[in-house]
Amino acid sequence: MAEVLEQPEGTFVTKEQNVNPWSVSGEVNEDGTVKPIDYSKLVEQFGTKLIDEALLERFERVTGHKPHRFLRRQIVFSHRDLEVILDRFEKKEPFFIYTGRGPSSNIMHIGHMVPFQLTKWLSDVFQVPVIIMLTDDEKYLISDHGRTVNEYEVYAQENAKDIIAVGFDPERTFIFSDFGYMGGDFYRNIARIAKRINRGTADACFGFDSSTNIGKVHFAAVQAASSFAGSFPFMFGPDSNQIPCLIPCAIDQDPYFRLTRDVASQLKYAKPSLIHARFLDALQGPGSKMSASIESSCILARDNPKTIMTKINQYAFSGGRETLEEHREKGGNPDVDVSYQYLRFFLESDEELEQIRQDYKSGKLLTGEIKKKCAGELATFCTSFQERRAKVTDQILEHFMTPRPLLCRGALSNTLLPSVQGKSGASKGPVQDVKDPNSKSQAKKMKKLEEANAKKALKAREKEAKSIATATAGVAALSVAENTAVGEDTVTSTSSLT
Ligand code: TRP
C-alpha cells in the first residue's frame, strides 16, 4: 500500500499518484484512502496509446489468433507502435521480443508472472526470438548498503529458472544477466546510448537528483541497449540494429523506453515497440502492487493451495457488504474486490468471468464464495507452475543462458540477414549507425534477402537441430510437458475455434 502519513490533527497528507520504475502508489485522499491507479491518466502523462478494439481486431486478423485474455480484458491496455510489429509480421520481416526482470530477491509472486505469461504467448504466436534480461546490476545499484553483488547474481539464476518454468521455448529464448553478459556489442551499444542521454534528460525522466548514485543514472543505457538486436550479435548478426523489437512490460518501465526511442532516432536504429500491462493489485486492494518482500501483500508462485486459501481469506480486500443481509440486498463491488480482480487475470473463460461478475454484483455470490473460487484458480496456476519449475535443471538453465542463434519463424535467426555476413561470410565490423530502418527500400531489401536465404536457413536448421536436440534433450521434454500443463496459456488459434 502507498504510505499514508497521519498528521497530529488526524488529517492526512494528500499525495498524487506516482508511478515510476522503482515505486508505484495511487493517489492518496484527504481522508487517507488510497485510490486505484488511474491508468488512463498514465496513458496521457506518458504519451502512449490505448489498445483499442480496432487494433485487437487487426491483431487477430494478422496473426490468426484470438488475443490473449490480458489483451481482451485491457490488462495489457496501452502501446507504442504495436502496428509496426504487426506490419512486419504480415510482411514476414524479422523482429524479436525483449522483456526483463529485476532480480530483487529469489522469490517471484504471481504479479511477476504476468508479463512473462504474455511474453511466452506472444512468442508462440509470432514464433520469433525472445531476449530476457535479468538486471542484477540494477538491483544491486539500488539495494541497501551491505548487500553484495554476488547475492544479486544468485537471485538472477534462481529467477531465470522461474522464468523458464513459465514455458519458454528453448530454441527461441535467450536469458542473460547483466553481470554475466556485459561486454562486446552489448557494451558498444550501451556506450553509444549513454553518450546520447544527458543528465538533464535523465533527471526529468526518472526524477534523479544529486543524491542519486551514478550507477543508477548510467543503468538507463543498459536497459535501453537490449532493445537493439545488434547487442546480441549471435541472433541476427552484429549489423542488425535496424531489426526492431516488441517489449511487453508493466507500465512503470515506460520511462526507460521513452528515452530509448529518442536515442534510437538519433542512432538511426529501429525504435522499439511496446505493450504495457497494468499491475496486479496487492491483496490489500487497488492503489498498490504486490511486493515480494511483504508476504501479506502477495501470493507467491511457490505458495501451496492451503497457504493461498489462507492468504486470500485473511488479506484479500473485499468489495462485499458488511452483513450477509446487506450483501444479498445490495450486492458487492467487483471493481474493488481483489478476488474478482485476480480472477480477471487468471480465469481463462470470458463467459464464466462475466457470470461471476454479475452474480457478485447482484448479491447472489457471497464474499466467501468468490474468495474460494479465486484461491482455487490461483492454486491451479501455482501448482502447475511448481511442477514445471521442479524440472528446470542447471543444465537447462545453462542452455537458455548460452548465446546462440535462435529460431525465428522456423529459420535460424543468424541466417536471415545475409548483409551481416557479406559474401565471404566475414563480419563487416562495427556498424556506422546510418541506415534508416523505416525506409521502404530498406524494408524491400530486407525482404528480398530474407527470401533468398529461406532455403539456406532450412538446410542449416536441419543440421543444427540435430546437435541442439542432443544438447537439450531435457529441455525439449520439458517444453512438451509445459505445453500440456500450461493449457490456459498455450496459443488458441481462431480457426480452431470456429
Ligand atoms: N527494470 C526491470 C525491473 O526492475 C527489468 C527489465 C529490464 C525489464 N529490461 C526490461 C522489464 C524490459 C520489462 C521490459 O523489473
At 98, give phi and psi (nearest 5°).
-130, 130
Ligand 1 site, residue 103, Cβ cutoff 6 A: no
Selection from 270, 277, 265 nearest residue 245 by Cα: 270
CA–CA distance, 360 with 355 (Å, rounded to integer): 8
Grid coordinates belonging to 330: 445490495
Ligand 1 binding pocket includes 118 (Cβ within 6 Å): no
CATH number of 37-277: 3.40.50.620
Q: What percent of the chain lies above the pLDDT cut of 70? A: 81
pLDDT category at 90 given cuts 50, 70, 90 is very high
Which pLDDT belongs to residue 439? 56
Q: Of 82-86, 186-190, 274-278, 469-473, where does mean pLDDT reach its minimum? A: 469-473
Q: Is 231 in the pocket of ligand 1 (CB under 6 A)?
A: no
Can you give the pLDDT at residue 491?
A: 56
User: Is residue 477 scored above 90 in pLDDT?
Assistant: no
Query: Which residue, judged by its Cα, is nearest atom 7 of ligand 1?
Result: 100
User: Does residue 101's CB lie within 6 angstroms of at least one atom of ligand 1?
Assistant: yes
Summarize pLDDT for 120-145 with one digit per residue, the tens: 999 999 999 999 999 999 999 999 99
CA 425 to the chain's CA centroid: 35
- If you take atom 4 of ligand 1, which residue's CA is the nearest one? 102
Query: Mean pLDDT over residues 462-469, rounded?
Result: 51
Residue 446 has pLDDT above 60, yes or no: no
| Confidence band of 424 (pLDDT split at 50, 70, 90) | very low
Distance, CA 234 to ligand 1 centroid (Å)?
22
- Is 80 exceeded by the pLDDT of residue 434? no
Q: Ligand 1 pocket check: which of 78, 133, 222, 280 to mutate, most ligand atoms within 8 Å of Cβ?
A: 133
CB 282 within 8 A of CB 262: no
pLDDT at 457: 52
d(CA 116, CA 164) in angstroms, rounded, equals 9
Q: What is the mean pLDDT of residues 373-394?
A: 98
Helix axis angle, 305-315 to 367-389, nearest 10°? 140
Give 99 Cα–ligand 1 centroid separation in angstroms.
Answer: 6
Grade residue 481 by pLDDT with cuts at 50, 70 and 90: very low
User: 87: pLDDT confidence band, cut at 50, 70 and 90?
Assistant: very high
40 band by pLDDT with thresholds 50, 70 and 90 = confident
Banded pLDDT at 20 (limits 50, 70, 90): confident
Determine the pLDDT at residue 249: 96
Residue 418: which pLDDT band, with cuts at 50, 70 and 90? low
Domain spans, the chain: 37-277
CA-nearest residue, atom 11 of ligand 1: 100
What is the rounded CA–CA span in Å between residue 393 and residue 449? Answer: 39
User: Counting atoms of ligand 1 from 1, which one is nearest the CA of 250?
Assistant: 13
Task: Report residue 459's pLDDT band, with 50, 70 and 90 as the boundaries.
Answer: low
Q: Tell how far the Cα of 295 is from the centroid of ligand 1, in angstroms.
A: 22
Q: Looking at residue 449, what is its pLDDT?
A: 59
249 lines ligand 1 (CB under 6 A): yes
Sign of CA dihedral 102, 124, 77, 368: negative
| Segment 20-46 mean pLDDT | 84
Is any atom of ligand 1 closer than 6 Å to the C-beta of 255?
Answer: no
Q: Whose CA is nearest to atom 3 of ligand 1?
A: 102
Q: Is 177 near ligand 1, meaning CB less than 6 Å away?
A: no
101 closest CA partner among 69, 142, 138, 154:
138
At 311, list the grid cell: 492468504
C-beta of 189 in contact with ligand 1 (< 6 A): no
Q: How much is the pLDDT for 326?
A: 96
Report the percent of the chain where pLDDT is more than 90. 72
Banded pLDDT at 426 (limits 50, 70, 90): very low
Beta-sheet pairing, 18-20 with 23-25: antiparallel
The distance in angstroms from the start CA to the end CA of the chain is 44
- Residues in a beta bridge with 100: 133
Mention every residue, 6+ apart, whose C-beta is less than 8 A from residue 336: 36, 285, 286, 317, 319
Edge-first strand order for the sheet with 76-80 is 49-50, 76-80, 273-277, 245-250, 96-101, 130-134, 173-177
Cβ of 138 closer than 6 Å to ligand 1, yes or no, is yes
- Assess contact for 2 and 25: CB atoms under 8 A: yes
86: Cα separation from own chain's centroid: 18
Judge residue 375's burial from the number of C-beta atoms within 10 Å of its C-beta, 0-12 exposed, 13-18 middle, 19 or more buried.
buried
* Rounded mean pLDDT, 271-288: 92
Side chain identity at residue 63, one-letter code = T
What was the pLDDT predicted at 395? 98
Beta partners for residue 65, in sequence order: 493
Q: Which residue has the higher pLDDT, 88 or 17?
A: 88
Residue 420 has pLDDT above 70, yes or no: no
Confidence band of 62 (pLDDT split at 50, 70, 90): very high
Read off the pLDDT band of 378 (50, 70, 90): very high
In this structure, which residue's CA is closest to atom 1 in ligand 1?
Answer: 102
Pocket lining: 405 vs ligand 1, CB cutoff 6 Å: no
3-state secondary structure the chain: CCCCCECCCCCECCECCEEECCEEECCECCCCCECCCCHHHHHHHHCCEECCHHHHHHHHHHHCECCCHHHHCCCEEEEECHHHHHHHHHCCCCCEEEEEECCCCCCCEHHHHHHHHHHHHHHHHHCCCEEEEECHHHHHHCCCCCCCHHHHHHHHHHHHHHHHCCCCCCCCEEEEEHHHHCCHHHHHHHHHHHHCCCHHHHHHHHCCCCCCCHHHHHHHHHHHHCCCHHHCHHHHCCCCCCCCEEEEEEHHHHHHHHHHHHHHHHHCCCCCEEEEECCCEECCEEEEECCCCCHHHCCECCCCHHHHHHHHHHHCCCCCCCCHHHHHHHCCCCCCCHHHHHHHHHCCCHHHHHHHHHHHHHCCCCHHHHHHHHHHHHHHHHHHHHHHHCCCCHHHHHHHCCCCCCEECCEEHHHCCHHHHCCCCCCCCCCCCCCCCCCHHHHHHHHHHHHHHHHHHHHHHHHHHHHHHHHCHHHHHHHHHHHHHCHHHCCCEHHHHC
Instruction: Give per-residue pLDDT as tens, 292-348.
Output: 888 899 999 999 999 999 999 999 999 999 999 999 999 999 999 999 999 999 999
Ligand 1 close to Cβ of residue 253 (< 6 A) = yes
Residue 485 pLDDT: 37
Ligand 1 centre to CA of 197 (Å) is: 19
The band of 428, judged by pLDDT with boundaries at 50, 70 and 90, is very low
Average pLDDT of the chain is: 87
Query: Is the model's pLDDT at 422 over the cut of 50?
Result: no
Q: How many CA atoms lie within 13 A of 140 on its CB side?
A: 18
Instruction: Check pLDDT > 80 for residue 81.
Output: yes
Query: Distance, CA 119 to ligand 1 centroid (Å)?
Result: 13
241 lines ligand 1 (CB under 6 A): no
* pLDDT tens readout for residues 193-209: 999 999 999 999 999 99
pLDDT computed for residue 480 by the predictor = 41
Of 466 and 423, the structure prediction assigns the larger pLDDT to 466
Give yes or no for residue 262 having a pLDDT over 60: yes
Distance (angstroms) between ligand 1 centre and the Cα of 409 equals 25
CA of 160 to the centre of ligand 1 (A): 13
pLDDT of the residue at 319: 95
Asked whether 271 and 81 are in contact (CB, 8 A), the reply is: yes
Tell me, in angstroms, the distance from the centre of ligand 1 to residue 113's CA: 13
Cα separation, 486 vs 388, in Å, equals 9
Return the pLDDT at 48.
96
